[in-house]
Each structure stands twice: as structure tokens, then as C-alpha cells.
Amino acid sequence: MHSRYQTLISKAIEALQFSYAPYSNFKVGVALITNTEKIYTGSNIECASYSLTICAERVAYAKAISDGENNFKAIAIANDKNEISFPCGACRQFMMEFNSDVKIILAKSLKVYKIYELKELFPKNFTLNE
Ligand code: THU
């Protein structure tokens, strides 16, 4: 039986196939589950003008938010190197814009993963409201 997290991880691994990463050859796939139980996948999208690259995490968030969802339970993150990799600082700030208790599931494989809460990975985000 797959745990709930394993279901999310398997969708993140599936999303690797849509990664467009010809420059870094580092494919990232994610699956984001909302509080309303919808799942949005994302993959990194690179650009010849490198800095225009969009990380997989922000792709999934943009899909969800533009679909009217803005409260998230968890995001599973996988890559094609079968290693755990943490979300970049820009994505941490971006995700902090929404609920900071979202679970970040870093998958090495379907069964080997680590779980953090976003706020522990990014405790001091920039905000205009302090
Ligand atoms: N990347 C992501 O998609 N998510 C991360 O959390 C870190 C990095 C992508 C950006 C780029 O396409 C490739 O990984 C190598 O940096």
C-alpha cells in the first residue's frame, strides 16, 4: 500500500518526463497537493537565456494559483539523479507567499524521502507586513 506521500512522490517522478532541461541536464518534477485535495504537477523549464529558467516548484504553484487554489498541504520534489535536492531560495520565498506550513517532501526515490515544513527551511522571509 502506498502512503499518501508515496502517491504524491510517484506523481512528482512522473512529471520528470515533461522537464525541459537541455542546458543543465538536471530534471526536476514536483507534485503539489492543495487543501481541497487537488494535485498539480510541475517540471523545470529552462531557457537559452539561462536566468529565465523557471523551477518546477514555481510552475506547479502557478498552475494551482491560476486555477483558484492558494492553500497547500504538501509538495513532493524529485529529480532524475535519484538524490535528495532542496528547493532553491527563490522558490522558498515564493512558496512562503502562501501558507508556510506546507510540507516539503524531498524524494530520493519512491520509498526514500525526507519531510520538512517550509517555515523551517525558510524562517526569515522577506515581507512587506512587518
Ligand atoms: N531547479 C528546480 O526546478 N527546482 C529547484 O528547487 C532547484 C533547481 C531547476 C532549475 C534548473 O532548470 C535546474 O534545476 C538546475 O539548476
* Domains parsed from the chain with CATH numbers: 2-121 (3.40.140.10)
Residue 1: its pLDDT value, please?
47
H-helix or E-strand spanning residue 64 = helix 56-65
Q: Residue 85, class by beta-carbon neighbours within 10 Å (0-12 exposed, 13-18 middle, 19+ buried)?
A: middle
- 56 alpha carbon – ligand 1 mean position (Å): 7
Instruction: Round to whole Å and give the CA distance between 54 and 119.
Output: 22
Residue 79: its pLDDT value, please?
98
Bridge-based pairing of strands 72-79 and 103-107 is parallel
**Which residue carries 539523479 as its cell?**
81
Polymer length of the chain: 130
- 25 alpha carbon – ligand 1 mean position (Å): 10
Which portions of the chain are predicted below pLDDT 70?
A: 1-2, 130
Residue 9: its pLDDT value, please?
98
Atom of ligand 1 nearest to the CA of 85: 6
Residue 2: its pLDDT value, please?
63
Atom of ligand 1 nearest to the CA of 28: 3
What is the set of active-site residues?
57
Phi and psi at residue 128, to the nearest 5°: -90, -5
